[in-house]
Amino acid sequence: MATPTESAAVAAFYVLFLGLFLYRNLSFKQIIEAASHAAIATSVIMLTVATSKIFAWLAVKENLGIILTDAMLAISSEVWVLLLMINILLLILGMIMEILPIMLIIAPVLFPLLGGLGVDEVHFGVVMVLNLMIGMITPPIGLNLFIISQIGGVGVIEIFKEAIPYFLILVFVLLIITYFPGITLFLPDMVFDR
């Protein structure tokens, strides 16, 4: 058993071993060139992550999560309206921040709020993950777009244009899952006899 990162490292060493010793078609120059391309692609991604971490730090320092929750409750205490506002908030945050800081900042604030209104924690977890996944393919940050752009050598805008139909389908699925919790809860309810 290994983590995905460890498995990827083992696979990389295995390919390196095959190329150097078994097939003997990999030169030192090719290894340096591949490492250079990987370093450039990684630096683009890490720059994006670093800027989102700065934003996350500012959000925590200024108590942004609590301020947003108070603002949402001031607008409405209806569950369907709050879920819509939370979807919009998470989509926007997913566009400009990395997923982990959003989960660490927003989830602890929203879980008690929604739990008090009768929203199931598993259901909200699925809604949150789907929101953040959609945010990862949406500009301006859209980290997955940058990764695909670097790997494919294609501009981010061109990739986003091709991803628009999938984006719209995902937003439609998000709305269905948000307002019909039975879709996400039927299996946990069946397995755990809730």
Confirm whether 8 is domain-assigned: no
pLDDT tens for residues 144-190?
Answer: 888 888 888 888 889 888 888 999 999 999 999 999 999 999 999 99
Dist. CA 145–CA 160, nearest whole Å: 7
Q: Look up the domain containing 144 and give its range.
A: 39-192
CA 116 to chain centre: 26
Please tell me whether the overall predicted TM-score, pTM, comes out greater than 0.75 for this model: no
- Three-state secondary structure readout of 75-141: HCCCHHHHHHHHHHHHHHHHHHCCHHHHHHHHHHHHHHHHHHCCCCHHHHHHHHHHHHHHHCCCCCC
- Angle between helical axes of 182-192 and 121-135 (0-180°, round to 10): 130
pLDDT tens for residues 64-97?
Answer: 777 877 888 888 888 899 999 999 989 988 888 7
pLDDT tens for residues 111-124?
Answer: 878 888 889 999 99
The terminus-to-terminus CA distance of the chain in angstroms comes to 31
What separation in angstroms does the CA of 19 have from each of 6, 14, 15, 25, 32? 20, 9, 6, 6, 14
Confirm whether 15 is domain-assigned: no
Confirm whether 24 is domain-assigned: no
DSSP class of 102? H
Confirm whether 23 is domain-assigned: no
Confirm whether 32 is domain-assigned: no
Confirm whether 29 is domain-assigned: no
User: For residue 187, with 0-12 CB atoms within 10 Å meaning exposed, 13-18 middle and 19 or more buried, which class applies?
Assistant: exposed
